[in-house]
Homo-oligomer: A and B are copies of this chain.
Amino acid sequence: MENPGTWKEVAVKRIASLVIAVVAVAGVVGSSAPASGHAEGESAAVFVTEIPQGYREWQWISSAHEAGNLNSLGAVLGNDIAIKAYREGKLPFPDGTIIAALHYHHVPSDENNKVFGQAQSFVPGAPTNIQFMVKDSTKYAATGGWGFAHFGTDGKPGDAAFMKTCFPCHEKAKASDLVFTRYAP
């Protein structure tokens, strides 16, 4: 029969077990926290940091005009996988889909307005940024399967704080697989 030991020895053993248990729980919490954070798009999410090649040659999905502070006029283009999915009405978008949003200042065209005889014509002015959504359900599992990208006119990606705002907003378009833009017929 094992000697249960002195009170002090028993106490030390129990405390040791408790410490191990606490560490174990802490470990679980520690490793699960980022996963939980990913799901909410608030933690170390992965973003797209390189501009996808050839996007300017992709087909047109739609145009977009954002009034107010954005004052933006732009176009949304898609690679072949994106275009096929759009035309077939296929949701969710398959892996490999890339959607590009090209944004410009919404500016009046003096040249056109002279011809029309009134201030009615607005065209894309200087570029402001390019944004992408890249579908990879494994790599970007934490953000709904989409990798988000934003590049300023200097070609540099948006910083992490800014990029973390993409998913929580796009998540509101769950019914269309986080994509706001509809295909213009």
Contact = CB atoms under 8 A, between A and B. Distances in A.
Interface of A: 56-60, 62-70, 73-75, 77, 102, 104, 106, 109, 111-112, 114-115, 118-124, 127, 169, 172-173, 180-182, 184-185
A180 B73 contact: no
21 contacts: A57-B59, A59-B59, A60-B75, A62-B124, A63-B74, A63-B75, A64-B121, A64-B122, A65-B65, A66-B120, A66-B121, A67-B122, A68-B118, A68-B120, A69-B120, A102-B184, A109-B180, A112-B180, A114-B172, A127-B184, A127-B185
Total copies of the chain: 2
A58 B57 CA distance: 9
A59 to B, nearest CB: 6
Contacts of A119: 67
Contact of A124 (B56, B63, B102, B118): B63
Classify the secondary structure of A's interface with B: mixed
Nearest to A122: B65
Contacts of A60: 58-60, 75, 77
Q: 6 nearest interchain CB pairs?
A: A68-B120, A63-B63, A65-B122, A60-B60, A124-B184, A67-B120
A112 to B, nearest CB: 6
A66 B127 contact: no
A182 B111 CA distance: 11
A108 to B, nearest CB: 9
Which of A57, A60, A182 counts the most chain B CB atoms within 10 A?
A60
Given A65-B73, A65-B122, 20 more contacts: A59-B59, A60-B60, A60-B77, A63-B63, A63-B74, A63-B123, A65-B121, A65-B123, A66-B120, A67-B119, A69-B120, A75-B75, A75-B184, A104-B184, A109-B180, A111-B180, A115-B180, A123-B181, A123-B182, A127-B184
